[in-house]
Amino acid sequence: MISWAVSVEDDVIDKRLLNTLEKNTRGIYERNARLFDSERSKRLEEKSWLDRFSDLLPKSAKVLDVGCGAGEPIARYLISKGFEVEGLDFSRTMLEIIRGRFPDHYWHRMDMRTLSLSTRFDGIIAWHSFFHLNHDDQELTLHKLSEHLQPEGVFLVTVGDHYGEVVGRVGAEEIYHASFSFETYEKILTSLDMRVLDFVPNDPDCGMASVLLAQKGS
């Protein structure tokens, strides 16, 4: 769980440290990929949100998992529901693991900030990945994700509970996180013809994740 109680606005975190960490996200995950996979909870505490997401999708929907990691437990659950799941991640090691687990699906080595696929998806999920981008890159990436959604496509993402930048951990290493306020996310999504269906900050039934569910217009 990431605490968003400490932010740059509080002048507590050194901005230079944040800039360094933000640039090192790829390397941190690459160095810690197998450890992260071994320690990643497989209890599927995300299930209630994944089910809400799934219920809005057509049968055999095409779903893109952005920052798919090694595929446990989210990609596995979505595949089990009969969806045509693809994913992307920038870690070679994560992709090596997920390709071994689910060889019949497409797993792209790609940075979400430069997302460019020929497919348009019925649903896109960015669970505990999108918030590693800085604020400028988040806004840019929301445009990219919207472009890859079909009309009435569904978007599920975890963010922070308020505006700020914070430091979390992967293994023994510190890692960067950022979030806009909910109001800013809603404004950006509305400009992209996406309607927020729900936002629950610090959901106690989901490991205190702050979760946003939205849907694109028709």
Nearest of 132, 176, 171 to residue 32 by alpha carbon: 171
The answer to whether 89 touches 50, Cβ cutoff 8 Å, is no
Q: pTM of the full predicted structure?
A: 0.93
- Residue 200 CA to residue 169 CA, distance in Å, equals 23
pLDDT of 9 higher than 70: no
What is residue 60's three-state secondary structure?
coil
- Residue 87 CA to residue 130 CA, distance in Å, equals 14
Q: What is the pLDDT averaged over residues 8-22?
A: 71
Alpha-helical runs (H) found in the chain: 15-23, 25-39, 47-55, 74-80, 92-101, 135-147, 182-191
Dump pLDDT digits (tens) for 82-140: 999 999 999 999 999 999 999 999 999 999 999 999 999 999 999 999 999 999 999 99
Report the pLDDT value the prediction gives residue 15, as an integer from 0 to 100: 83
- Residue 37 CA to residue 30 CA, distance in Å, equals 11
pLDDT of 196 higher than 70: yes
Topology of domain 8-39+55-216, per CATH? Rossmann fold (3.40.50)
pLDDT of 78 higher than 80: yes
Report the pLDDT value the prediction gives residue 95, as an integer from 0 to 100: 98
**24 DSSP 8-state letter:** T
- How much of the chain, in percent, has pLDDT values that exceed 70? 94
Structure tokens at 39: 């320690």
Q: What is the pLDDT averaged over residues 168-197?
A: 96
Q: What are the two backbone dihedrals, phi and then psi, of residue 198, each rounded to the nearest 5 degrees?
A: -165, 150
Report the pLDDT value the prediction gives residue 13, as an integer from 0 to 100: 57
Q: What are the two backbone dihedrals, phi and then psi, of residue 188, each rounded to the nearest 5 degrees?
A: -65, -45
